[in-house]
Homo-oligomer: A and B are copies of this chain.
């Protein structure tokens, strides 16, 4: 069994969301365990009401860009990204951790977040969790 991969997600862009979703669900399909630690702006991606925008497009396209990419991804069979993420969580391979300090700093509450995520953790817990495994900062 390959070692767990521990990802840090620090941005709230559509690109980061898509990478998280693709890596997490692909790893799930391979029975590889992944932990994602959402810190700073990245925590927004776990907020139910949040709609990520495409960072790498010029200003007026940022919001529209996410819709365009969403439609194109649907053609590749990715019609319900959060549904796929939830399934990977339920399979026990994917874990999504909100950063405790970011929640406190930004005033984000547990009930604002999707309900299939783990309890908030701090940097020390993340470092402990990732001992012996790989750390990738997306």
Q: Which residues of A contact B (CB under 8 A)?
A: 2, 5, 8, 10-12, 15, 18-19, 22-23, 26-27, 29-30, 32, 39-41, 56, 69, 72-73, 76, 101, 104-105, 122-124, 127-128, 131-132, 134-138
9 of the cross-chain contacts (CB-CB < 8 Å) are A5-B135, A10-B15, A19-B39, A19-B40, A26-B127, A29-B124, A76-B105, A134-B134, A136-B136
Kindly state the separation between the CA atoms of A127 and B138 in the bound complex, as whole angstroms: 14
Residue in B closest to A68 when the chains form the complex, CB atoms: B105
Task: Considering the complex, give the chain B residue whose CB is closest to the CB of A78.
Answer: B101
Count this chain's copies in the assembly.
3
Do the beta carbons of A56 and B26 come within 8 Å of each other? no
